[in-house]
Structure 1
Amino acid sequence: MKIFKRILIVLFIAIILVVFFNYPKLNILSGYSAKNTASSVFVANRTLEFTDKTDNNFSPVNLASDEIDTNKKVATSSAFGLLTRKAIYRKGLGTVLTLTKKDETATYLSPKRIQPDNITPYPYGNAAQKDTIFTNVDYTKLNETVASVFGKNKSRAVVVIYKDQIIAEKYAEGFNKDSKILGWSMTKSIMSTVFGVMQHQNKLKITDKAPIDSWQNDERKNITIHNLLQMNSGLEWDENYDEISDATTMLFLERDMTKMQENKPLTGKINASWNYSSGTSNLLSGIVRSQFATHQEYLDYWYADLIDKIGMNSMVLEADLAGNYVASSYAWATPRDWGKFGLLYLHNGNWNGQQIFAKDWVKYVSTPTPTSNGTYGAQFWLNAEGQMKDVPKNMFFADGYQGQRVYVLPDQDLVIVRMALSWMEENKFLKGVLAAIEH
């Protein structure tokens, strides 16, 4: 009997220790589930059941239990009943994890939006496109290639745009052309483009030193906006999503996500220490904010001068509790609207006759960052070293978690959008699309 009691005591202590050491991870687990549930239901208009089945169905997130309040537009997630997180919907700003009870009733500003153009055909409006049949396109081969990346845990959407025409389009069950899909880190490319627009409008120069007051008394004062855009500042950052890291702490526990990278020391050399950092992207969002006298101007600018201007009317940029756009991770839009973003770059910043950013901005974002081994430009990914061996080296792309991608192929007059669930088969898929179009 004594032995049995001792075993129970040991087991009890073991359970307490497991909970103690994993409690911080439960915060991230339930936080991810609450945030993802809220956005999926209230931004993308999916059901809770569909969300749990298709978005929160992977380990360890599937261990959390989720609930929604459709009237208050709140999602709550609990990890084993030990830790509960709540995410709320704010009109125009998407959803955000709360940190205190007051966050649920706080007032906030929201961006003003431009009315969609539902008369002009796609891509310059949202009406049905004027279809063109290209004699140099093997549509059978193209559709077979597109179909090959669908199936269990492969893709949610593919849109292939050639010479401004959608020549192939396919969606997984439960999705269609009006479905908003999270771009994850493709949001970084949106943010980078905002800098291109601002520079074109002479609002700033990316060669300027970063306007960060707290850096002015140490070596960080020499970091330029350019260094930040290339993620080559030399600042410390841990981009690890499997542990409690800088990235997970920022996304799930910070009120103002623009500040975390600001407070990091230099651990490398400026312009010679490439380090992928979501914190840097959010710091850049904060720099955009610093260029405007009011927060309302900051909120409106991203839409009025870029997103709505090119008809990406479905896009929702989500903001943190401080009201800053989470430029690292949280932009939602339909695959067709993501395609418009690619077309803006394909046309060197010109949108239906209006120059949104300078032509040389395309060259800038697609120029390899020093020490990135030819893989990274200015918040865009590159194929400069032929990592995808069957794809042109001048292809560049926006890239998000699990394989959300907008590929721009300038020489082929081609934009390919793939909203994936894995990074698998990318070279083979792109090779197949290219093979179906005779150049």
Structure 2
Amino acid sequence: MIRTALAATALILAVPAAAQTAQDQLDLRYDRALTAGYKALMLCGAMAHGTRTVESVAAWELNGIQAPLDGLLADLPPAEISYVEGTAAGPLPIIRTVAVRFADDMPPRIAAHTPGRGCTILPVGMTAAPPLPKPKLLTGREVFQLVSPEFDFPANALGRMGFSTSYGAGARSTGVAIVKDGELVGEAYAEGFTQYTPQRTWSVAKSLAATVIGAAVQRGEADVTGSAGLGASDADPRRAITIDHLLRMASGRYSDTPGNRTDPLYFGGATVTEVALDWPLIAAPGGTYRYANNDTLAAIAAIAPTFDAHPPASLFKTLGMERTVAETDWQGNYILSSQVWSTSRDLARFGQLYLDDGIVNGKRLLPEGWVQYVSTPSGPQPEGEFGYGAGFWLLNKSEGVPPDTFAAFGNRGQYVVIVPSRNVVIVRRGEDPVGARFDIAAFTRDVLAALED
């Protein structure tokens, strides 16, 4: 009986171990699919929007990325890139698709490029996406420009400050642009990057999203104090969540990880509707702070009916952000929590809009008081050295930095710092590896001091 009992116990213990092995295998397969999607989308975005090479993207965007993707990239086969012409001939071939295989028994992960709409990652197993319409653009309107014209600006000491190792061990800057009084006064780039090189903005897109919403408010097409329309019906408590709650990361909805990693959407081919809008409520709206990609995505979804007439591309064009593209999921929903490609100069123009109180060429694009709205804390605040407004971070606790300073922050070291009291915009682009952190507060303080000299 003792032997029988021991054998039974061993069998019971062996079942969870076997199940765990099966789960590990399943997780590995899923992670490989996500990694292949990451690789395809990054190659597509960097190469379709600029003149980057596969080698350049491998050295920057595909280097130092988050776990578990980082350990799986080297095992993936080379990407298969197709072009509109069918070959890579010509000075600027137009990319059609980038495909990366992750399993022998499945189709490759595919990022599909639509001119004017950017790159879209398709769901796992999908080999062709329905075509997305080109965005409508405003015509016949003068665009905003910085004082400095679009010619090569020689790298200067002010711009090169952003490449100093004193702002973070291991940080890797790719571009710096500094504007004072509407004039480009500092600029510098890493080798292989120029003022014409777009990079993914990551969460700087959240501040762009707040700006797109502000423009809709100015047109009378949105109300930040109104319901964002979440929930199944008017009886659903989530209907109480407003656009303001979402912009302030105070929806009260659950998110499964700090920062709310949305890999299934970003790299897995899921849609905004599938993964971002249905999270349950666990706290009263407005009562807690929880940084979440899904909140920004829900805020943008709330104004989606305005995009037929006023897509983000129209606002970017008005601002002179000619090399900025907001990308979507394969159903055409904007992923304005992260998936935007833009240059340093374009982001400087974005910052300048706020220095000019939302007015471009004499026309008000953002509501009066919008600058104060996005840069003023309200309700719960994040722990740590930075505060949060409505779609923007606040440097109100940073020593030596003017208290009115606010900023757009993005993964891997993307920063757009706006200092109204000094009429300054500071843009820093990077591809910082996991574990490295660029000290944006110290850099801002030093740039402002240098501008005083």
Q: Bin the TM-score by the shorter chain.
A: 0.7 to 0.9
The corresponding residue for 2:358 is 349
The corresponding residue for 2:55 is 49
**Matching residue's letter, 2:373:** Y
2:200 & 2:237 partners in 1: Cα distance? 37
The corresponding residue for 2:276 is 261
Is the contact made by 2:159 and 2:178 (CA closer than 8 Å) also made in structure 1? no
Is the contact made by 1:29 and 1:60 (CA closer than 8 Å) also made in structure 2? no
Is the contact made by 2:163 and 2:173 (CA closer than 8 Å) also made in structure 1? no
1:52 shift after superposition: 1.5
Is the contact made by 2:407 and 2:418 (CA closer than 8 Å) also made in structure 1? yes
Structure 2's unaligned 5+ residue stretches are 1-17, 65-69, 85-95
Q: Secondary structure at the match of 1:339?
A: helix
1:105 shift after superposition: 4.7
The corresponding residue for 1:192 is 210
Is the contact made by 1:240 and 1:248 (CA closer than 8 Å) also made in structure 2? no
The corresponding residue for 2:388 is 376
Aligned with residue 160 of structure 1, among 178, 185, 191: 178
1:77 shift after superposition: 2.1
1:61 shift after superposition: 5.3
The corresponding residue for 2:287 is 272
The corresponding residue for 1:303 is 313
Cα deviation code 1:251-309 (max 9, x no counterpart): 2335421442321111112101111111111112211113x4xx633xx43232x2111
1:120 shift after superposition: 8.4
1:16 & 1:209 partners in 2: Cα distance? 44
1:125 & 1:353 partners in 2: Cα distance? 19
After superposition, the Cα gap between the structure-2 partners of 1:13 and 1:372, relative to the gap in structure 1 and judged at 3 Å, is: closer
1:60 pairs with 2:78: no
The corresponding residue for 1:92 is 116
1:235 pairs with 2:235: no
1:123 pairs with 2:146: yes
Aligned with residue 191 of structure 2, among 139, 157, 173: 173
1:369 shift after superposition: 3.6
Cα deviation code 1:189-224 (max 9, x no counterpart): 111111111111111211112233624222112111
The count of aligned residue pairs is 409
Mean Cα deviation higher: 277-286 or 66-75:
66-75
1:124 shift after superposition: 6.6
2:31 & 2:188 partners in 1: Cα distance? 37
After superposition, the Cα gap between the structure-2 partners of 1:98 and 1:352, relative to the gap in structure 1 and judged at 3 Å, is: same
Q: Secondary structure at the match of 1:417?
A: strand
Matches within 5 A, 1:204-353: 204-212=222-230, 214-239=232-257, 247-290=262-305, 292=306, 296-297=308-309, 300-304=310-314, 306-353=315-362
1:418 shift after superposition: 0.3
Is the contact made by 2:252 and 2:285 (CA closer than 8 Å) also made in structure 1? yes
1:145 & 1:130 partners in 2: Cα distance? 16
Q: Secondary structure at the match of 2:246?
A: helix
Cα deviation code 1:30-88 (max 9, x no counterpart): 22112111111222331112211222123235323331323252112234768742211
1:156 & 1:312 partners in 2: Cα distance? 19
The corresponding residue for 1:4 is none
1:102 shift after superposition: 5.8
1:121 shift after superposition: 9.0
Structure 1's unaligned 5+ residue stretches are 1-11, 132-138
The corresponding residue for 2:419 is 409
Is the contact made by 2:204 and 2:414 (CA closer than 8 Å) also made in structure 1? yes
After superposition, the Cα gap between the structure-2 partners of 1:277 and 1:101, relative to the gap in structure 1 and judged at 3 Å, is: same
1:126 shift after superposition: 5.6
Mean Cα deviation higher: 266-275 or 98-107:
98-107
